[in-house]
Structure 1
Amino acid sequence: MSSSFGTNPLASNPLGGARRLNRAYSSGHLLVLGGIDVVAGLIALAWPGVTVLVLALIFGLMLLMAGLVAIGIGSVVRRAGGSPAATWVVGGVAVLAGLICIFHPGAGVWAIVLGCSLWFLLTGVGDLLVAAASPAHRVWFGILGVVSIVAAVVLLVHPGVAIVTVALVAGIAFLVRGAGELALGWRLRSITR
């Protein structure tokens, strides 16, 4: 069989494709990753506070790296004859925010909660504006807007709800991913035998 992109190697030898995939992602590799992800998911569900602190540390590291990259880009812009001021300011703020999150992870947790709250508030207001401006699906956009604004208020008034929710979502995501990796690992093991 062929397509506009050439010959399909799986059509002539279905196990050949599995063997190539097995070389890239061995069944043992996937089983180990799946096991790690399942354990991480269980830890996230058992200790949501610790999970969110770890996420805040990761958030801080990401901000720090993004800030350093922005400062580097500003230097490249300067060498090219451009004005790097805005890029350096953004990079400096990101580095500072990253360091604060790393050394005070509670600040990172608050940043996550405030960011989620702000996002819900803005999307809620946007949905209400769409509902007011458009007769099509007005009720649905109105409901979405009200639910989003209520979610923003709940997150601001009860930040513990946001913390537990983030940990639960992370835990469930790890469990689902881990189960998928385990299933694929077992499947590859059975195909290549």
Structure 2
Amino acid sequence: MSDTALPRIILASTSPYRRELLQRLHLPFETISPQVDEAPFAGEQPRNLARRLARAKALAVAEQHPDAVVIGSDQVADLHGKPLGKPMQHDRAVAQLRAMRGQTVVFHTAVAVVCLARQHTEVDVSQVNVTFRDIDTGMSDAEIEAYLRLEQPYDCAGSAKSEGLGIALLARIQNDDPTALIGLPMIKTCSMLRAAGVSLLTGARA
């Protein structure tokens, strides 16, 4: 794979959030659903779950497209060691947000880049610590209800979109890469794509 030939890039995800983030690089890519069971193993820690699923998603697609550079990612919200999944329903989102009031939730966002033709596999996990407001400073039951009705973030781990109105629920964010919280840590993804043979800026399209 030469520096001048841009490899085929596949995002092993149908997430609109990850697709939007990857589009920032102005690289041509396609998306394919990885069809991976995301259920955690018994006793599996949230960070390990995110790492395993990101790798599994990338490998599932890479096995069908061995010449492509495949990006897999997964995010797990961690409340005191307990994984918080996507609520998918209003009542579950309410319960999640109530549980997170005044707490710091750790968001583990893993990214894997795989190219089987180059025998290249790399996996990394970014950590973002998010402190939610308490009941007196922006997370009353009424405010939670109003937020969910307006934004309906039922497909987001932790039931809040920091890039949207969910920022009003937060007291603090600590991270090395703000895109990690959205769903794909782009600083690390760029580094991993370079290692897999992708020339980022010279391969970008206007």
Larger proportion of helix:
1
Larger proportion of strand:
2
| Higher relative contact order structure (alpha carbons within 8 Å, sequence separation ≥ 6) | 1
TM-score, normalised on structure 2? Answer: 0.26
Which is higher, the Rg of structure 1 or of structure 2?
Answer: 1
